[in-house]
Each structure stands twice: as C-alpha cells, then as structure tokens.
Amino acid sequence: MGPLNHDSPPTSPEGPVGISEGDRARTYSAALGLLFDATCVISPELIVLECDEGFARLLDRPGEDVTGQPLPTLHLTGSVEGQPVTLRHVARTGSWRGHANLTREDGSALPVDTLLIKSTAEEPRIHLFLRDLRGPLSVQVGEVDHQHALAQVSRLSALGEMTSGIAHEMNQPLAAIVNYANGCISLIKQGRAEDPAITDALSSIAEQSRRAAEIIRRMRAFARRSGGQRGAFRLTELIREALEVSASQRRRVGVELQCDLDELHDEIVADGIQIEQVLLHLLRNAMDSLATVPGDTPRIILVRTRHTPGDGGGPGTIETTITDSGPPIPSDEEVRLFAPFATSRENGLGLGLVISRSIIEANGGKLTYLGCSEAPPGGPAFCFTLPLRAAQI
C-alpha cells in the first residue's frame, strides 16, 4: 500500500459552466415525475392549494373536489428525537422522507412513500410528493426502478456540471491536431512533401484524434450506464475509473491527488456502476470545495481504503474515506447534508448525497460524514463501507 497517484496542479484553473434555471426546473420535474405518483401543495393550515391528477386518483376523487379542501389525514411513521413525526416537524426542519398512511373518504388507509419539503418562498407552503406502495411486488420493483431513475438523473447532472472540464480536456488534442495539420500544409507548400516530418506529424494527428475520441467515449459511456447489475468487482479498479473520469476537473482546479488503497482486501459484490457514481460525486464535492480556497493554499484530496475483518474470521468490510484540505462545512449546512434538494452550490441539484447514501445502503453499506479530519489533509471527510466478497475474485 502507499501513494499511487500524484497529479501536479495547473497554472490557470477555469470556472464552471452554469446550469440555467430552466434546465434545473426541467431536471427537478423529471426526477420527481419518475420518483412519485402524486404531488400537491398545502398551506400551513393544511389546506390543499393545488394538486395533480395523480393525487386526485389516490383519493379516488375529482381534482376540483380536492383543491381548496383540508388535506386528508396523513399519518407519518417514525419518530424524531423520541417524538412522533408531524407536519410541525417538517415546518421546522424543512423536509422529511418516509412511509405514511393516507386516509381516503371511505376510511381506507393507503400506504404511501412520502416526501415533504417546506417551500423557501416568502409565503409558507409545504410540497407533498406521494408514491403508492400497495402490493408487495410493486414495492420491490418500484424501489429498484426509482433507484435507477435517481441514479440516471444524478449522472446527467454530473455531466452537466463537468462541461467546462470536458471542453478543456478536448481542447488540448484538438489544438494539437490543428498545429500538426498546419505544419504539414507548410511543408507541402515548401515542396517538402517527402520530408519525414510530415509522416511524424500525421502519426501525431492520428494519436491526438484517438485521444479525443477516448474522452468522448468515456463521457458517453458514463451517461448511458444504467446500472442494476450486481457483480464481483475490485473496489480499487472502480476508484481508479472514477479518478480517470474526474481527471479534467482535478487538473483544472489544481488538486494534488493522494491515494492509499488496500488492494489486498478490495473484492466486493455490488452494482459497480453505481458505486463508481458515488465515488465521482464525493470527489466532485471535494473539488468544488477546494476551488474556493485561496490560490496559495494546498489543494489536496486523499482517497483511502481500509479493511475491517469480520467477526469469526468472516470477510468483513472495506471502508473508503475521501478527505480534502478545504474549509469545514458550516454547522447549519452539516445538519442538512443528506436532506433532499439541500445544496450550497449555485448550480447544484441537492440530490447527490441523498442518491449516494441510498446507493450505498442498497449495496449493504453505510455512507456517513465524519467531520473534519484531524490527520492531513485536515478538511471534510466522507466515508462509506461495503461488505467484502466471501471468496476472492
């Protein structure tokens, strides 16, 4: 084990490309449409201000009979700080996700997956999103479908936010191709068509073209991956693939990468594509944080894996920690890290950590925020664990 990679920083970082309000709204709408069957907006007095057709169908009532009326009884499950969850809790914390029972006019209780989000507008509103949970098969299939839908939204969002990095990465081989081509033209005009330099230049053009094509292939493959296939993977290889995908942004920000990976105990059974997506999101968060520090401050990301043996000689787990040298996360943001649509980035969707935690838990692990590391590089640290494969790959 030991440091595997060391990227030296560039001299001129570039800024990110913004996401328009229209694009952000369409992405939110697409994500919520894939995740939930019904939506409505309610007032603090629990009056339904507006609702969609799906909400009316869940209640088995016409939409016009629902709007303007009190919200049907919604029993939220679970507790917070030892007390039952209520809409007052949502009004105080800003959001809640869990299962609930929606009571209809005939007295029947409808089990629903529920997301409540308090509006940040001047007039207080609560947005309610529901998904019908009736039927054991629909629950299992729905969980998988919604997991994959969320993951796809996150991947496309990641590509959008990496646009400037991709453009910078593409600019280098394209500029080299133009220079080599101009050199060939110049030699031919001088009557030196047989000059060996032309052959060398054409070979370089071919090599740079392959490099540009590989960049495009890598990004297209990342966008198209759908996941859903569990298999045997080496976590070290997934980490290296995520580092390759994020290399352009790392160079642009000027990040020094340090890796300390346990390659002897890294065999997992998981959805490799989604694990790679979690890694990429945590790396991007670290790079976004480092982009805000003064230019003379070291910008370091440390990726470390450690094996924890299981009880009774079992395979145990592998722990992956990503730590950066950026500033601490403010306490008011720390408590909302894993809340839906909570983001401190101007162009962020606020879904990345929510999706990442869901992915890790679906693969038998746990994702946590450790706070600021006492050891170098000394900044915010995120950690996730995954169970190791029983037999070696």
Q: What is the pLDDT of residue 135?
A: 52
Give per-residue burial for 159-193: e unless 16+ CB within 10 Å, then b.
ebbbebbbebbbeebeebbeebeebbeebeeeeee
Residue 14 lies in a domain: no
CB–CB of 41/49 below 8 Å? yes
Q: Classify residue 141: in a domain, yes or no.
A: no
233 and 93 co-located in one domain: no
C-alpha 94/C-alpha 81 separation (Å) is 16
Confirm if 227 and 274 have CB atoms less than 8 A apart: yes
pLDDT at residue 381 in the model: 95
Q: Are residues 207 and 238 in the same domain?
A: no
CA angle 70, 73, 79 (to 5 degrees): 130
Inter-residue contact 357 to 367 (CB < 8 Å): yes
Q: Is residue 23 part of a domain?
A: no
Among the three residues 196, 224, 252, which one is the final residue of a domain in this structure? Answer: 224
User: 368 and 383 in contact (C-beta within 8 Å)?
Assistant: yes
At 315, which CATH number? 3.30.565.10
Q: Is the domain of 182 the same as that of 235? A: no
Quick one: 207 and 298 in the same domain?
no
Same domain, 260 and 328: yes
Q: Which domain holds residue 345?
A: 228-387
Q: What CATH number does residue 65 fall under?
A: 3.30.450.20
- CB 275, CB 22: distance < 8 Å: no
- Between CA 382 and CA 380 the distance in angstroms is 7
The answer to whether the beta carbons of residues 161 and 240 sit under 8 Å apart is no
Whether residue 233 is found in the same domain as residue 296: yes
Q: Is 228 helix (H, G, I), strand (E, B) or coil?
A: coil
335 vs 331: CA distance, rounded Å: 7
Please tell me whether residues 237 and 187 are part of one structural domain. no
Out of 224, 249, 266, pick the residue that ends a domain.
224
Q: How far apart are CA 251 and CA 244, in angstroms?
A: 11
Largest CA distance in the chain: 92
If asked whether residues 211 and 239 sit together in one domain, one would say no
Do 242 and 367 lie in one domain? The reply is yes
Determine the Cα–Cα distance for residues 242 and 3; give it in Å rounded to an integer. Answer: 17
> Which pLDDT does position 15 carry in this prediction?
42
The answer to whether 186 and 198 have CB atoms below 8 angstroms apart is no
Instruction: Work out how many domains the chain is built from and give that number.
Output: 3
DSSP-H helix ranges across the chain: 21-35, 53-59, 87-93, 136-161, 163-189, 196-224, 235-245, 247-253, 272-290, 331-334, 352-362
| Residue 4 located in a structural domain | no
Instruction: Output the pLDDT for position 341.
Output: 58
Is the domain of 234 the same as that of 382?
yes
- Are 259 and 239 contacting, i.e. CB atoms less than 8 angstroms apart? yes
CB contact at 8 A, 245 and 155: no
Burial label for 72, CB within 10 Å (0-12, 13-18, 19+), is middle
Helix (H, G, I), strand (E, B) or coil at 146: helix
Q: Would residue 145 count as lying in a domain?
A: no
Distance between CA atoms of 253 and 165, rounded to whole angstroms? 10
- What is the 3-state composition of the chain as percent helix, strand, coil, each rounded to the nearest 5? 45, 25, 35
User: What are the backbone angles phi and psi of residue 12, rounded to the nearest 5°?
Assistant: -140, 85
DSSP letter at 257? E
Residue 170 and residue 207 share a domain: yes
**pTM of the predicted model as reported, rounded to 2 decimal places:** 0.50
Backbone conformation region of residue 24, classed left if phi is above 0, alpha if psi is from -120 to 50, else beta: alpha
pLDDT tens string, the chain, 393 residues long: the values are: 433 444 444 444 444 444 555 666 566 666 666 678 888 888 888 899 999 888 988 888 887 889 999 988 888 876 665 667 777 777 677 777 778 888 888 888 888 888 888 876 667 788 888 888 875 434 444 444 545 555 555 555 555 555 555 565 677 778 888 888 999 999 899 988 888 889 888 988 888 888 777 767 766 665 555 555 678 999 999 999 888 878 878 888 899 999 999 998 899 998 887 888 889 889 988 998 899 888 888 999 999 999 998 877 778 999 999 999 999 988 878 877 877 655 555 555 566 787 788 888 888 899 999 999 888 888 999 999 999 987 555
